[in-house]
Amino acid sequence: MEFVLFLITAFITIGAAAAMVLSHNAVHSALWLVLNFFGVAVLYLLLNAPFLAMVQITVYAGAIMVLFLFVIMLLGSEKGEEVNGLPWQTPVALVLGLVLVSIAGYAILGADSPAIAAAPATDTQIGAAEAVANSLFSTYLLPFEITSVLLLVALIGAVVLTIKSREREGART
């Protein structure tokens, strides 16, 4: 039963991610992302990590999505604009996508990992708050901080690009 629930949740999560990427409306993309976040939270619950599931819902589906929707509405970019990318982006994206699919296929269909099968059972849950906090603020502190700076830079970049495009539109009229 757990495997069937996993498959259903995985297909919903993958479908929501695909719909998010393919949607031409930024608000619709954000709403598909919310569904994706909830799907990931259910996957965390299936992994017996309730703390991570609740953080996923509270932080990402709650706070981050409110911030994304606020920025989308503030900048007035509900409708996606046609962006002329660089000519090399499409082939590179296709190659990287194929690499990702092949690695995922190898991981799913490949041999069972003896390291995972031989891992000793512990009394603590995988997603227990204390274990997550210890690893987040020791082992993963630098990637955590880099991610926060990257999100901040992306947000500032979006605001700057929108201001410049509005200035160009104002100069034309």
Is residue 60's pLDDT more than 60?
yes
Strands (E), 74-147: none
Cα–Cα distance measured from residue 173 to residue 156, given in angstroms and rounded to the nearest whole number: 26
Domain-embedded: residue 13:
yes
Q: Which residue has the higher pLDDT, 32 or 64?
A: 32
Same-domain check for residues 76 and 8:
yes
H/E element, 166: helix 141-172
Q: Which of 30, 63, 80 is the last residue of a domain?
A: 80
- How far apart, in whole angstroms, are the C-alpha atoms of residue 57 and residue 66? 12
- Same-domain pairing of 71 and 144: no
Q: Are 76 and 27 in contact (CB under 8 A)?
A: no
DSSP secondary-structure letter at 124?
S
The verdict on 3 and 76 lying in the same domain is yes
Average pLDDT over residues 67-95: 72
Query: Which residues constitute the domain of residue 31?
Result: 1-80
Confidence of residue 78 (pLDDT cuts 50, 70, 90): low
| Euclidean distance between CA atoms 126 and 47, whole angstroms | 8
Q: Which of 24-28, 34-38, 62-66, 168-172 has the highest mean pLDDT?
A: 34-38
| Of 41, 20, 39, residue with least CA distance to 31 | 20
147 in the same domain as 72: no
pLDDT at 83 over 60: no
Total tally of structural domains belonging to the chain: 2
- Whole-structure pTM value: 0.58
Task: Tell me the one-letter amino acid at 62.
Answer: G
Domain holding 13: CATH number? 1.20.120.1200
The residues facing 38 across adjacent strands are none
pLDDT number for residue 154 = 80
Domain limit, last residue, from 80, 111, 132: 80
Task: For the chain, state the CA radius of gyration.
Answer: 20
pLDDT digits 0-9 by tens, 103-154: 877 877 875 555 444 445 555 566 677 877 888 788 888 888 888 888 888 8
Tell which of 30, 59, 80 closes a domain.
80
